[in-house]
Amino acid sequence: MFSVVATAVRFYVLPDADTLSATHPAASEVGMTSTTRTTSGGTAPLPRAILSTHGLTKAFDGFRAVDEVDLAVAEGTVHALVGPNGAGKTTLFNLLTGFLPASAGRIEVAGQDITGLPPEKVARLGVARSFQVTSLFPAVTARAHLELALQAGTDLGRRFWRSDRLLARFTGRARELLDQVGLAERAEAPAGSLPYGQKRALELALALALDPRVLLLDEPTAGMGLEDVDRTVALVDRIRAGRTVVLVEHNMSVVGSLADTVTVLQRGRVLVEGAYRTVRSDPRVVEAYLGAGVA
Partner 1 sequence: MILALLDRLGARPAWLRWGLLAAGLVSVLGLPWVLYPPVAADILCWGLFAVAFDLLLGHAGLLSFGHAAFWGTSAYATGLIAIHAGVPFPLAVAGGAVAAAVVAVPIGLLAVRRSGIYFAMVTLAFAQMIYFIANQWGDLTGGENGLQGIPREVPGLDLSDSFVYYYAALPLVLAGLFAAWRIVHSPFGRVVAAIRDNPARARALGYSVDRYKVVVFTVSAFLSGLAGGLYAVNHGFASLQEVYWTTSGKVVVMTVLGGIGTLWGSLLGAAAVVRLEDWLSTSGFDEVGIVTGSLFILVVLLFRRGIWGTVSYLLQRRRAAGAGMRSAESGNGTVRDPAAGDRPEPSLVKEP
Residue 109 contacts residue 118 (beta carbons within 8 Å): no
If binding is defined by CB under 8 A, does position 189 make contact with partner 1? yes
If binding is defined by CB under 8 A, does position 238 make contact with partner 1? no
What's the rounded Cα separation, in Å, for the pair 7 and 2? 9
Tell the smallest beta-carbon distance from residue 92 to partner 1 (Å): 16
Which segment (60-68, 190-198, 245-253, 255-263) binds partner 1 by CB under 8 A? 190-198
CA dihedral of residues 191, 195, 200, 203 (deg, nearest 10): -10
What's the rounded Cα separation, in Å, for the pair 274 and 262? 5
Q: What is the DSSP letter of 190?
A: B
Among 26, 166, 184, 295, interactor with partner 1 by CB under 8 A: 166
What's the rounded Cα separation, in Å, for the pair 79 and 49? 11
Encoded one letter per residue, x for contact with partner 1 by CB under 8 A and - for no contact, window 101-140 reads -----------------xxxx-xx---xx-x---xxxxxx
Residue 176: CB partners within 8 Å, gap ≥ 6?
A: none
Nearer to partner 1, 211 or 260 (CB): 211
If binding is defined by CB under 8 A, does position 172 make contact with partner 1? no
Give the SS3 label for residue 101: coil
What's the rounded Cα separation, in Å, for the pair 137 and 143? 12
What's the rounded Cα separation, in Å, for the pair 157 and 150? 10
Tell the smallest beta-carbon distance from residue 24 to partner 1 (Å): 18
If binding is defined by CB under 8 A, does position 256 make contact with partner 1? no
Nearer to partner 1, 215 or 233 (CB): 215
Among 153, 176, 180, 250, interactor with partner 1 by CB under 8 A: 153
Q: How many residues bind partner 1 (CB under 8 A)?
A: 51
Q: What is the DSSP letter of 165?
A: G
Nearer to partner 1, 118 or 223 (CB): 118
Q: What is the DSSP letter of 249?
A: -
Residues that bind partner 1 (CB under 8 A): 1, 3-4, 6-7, 10-11, 15, 97, 99, 118-121, 123-124, 128-129, 131, 135-141, 144, 147-149, 151-153, 156-164, 166-167, 188-190, 192-193, 206, 210
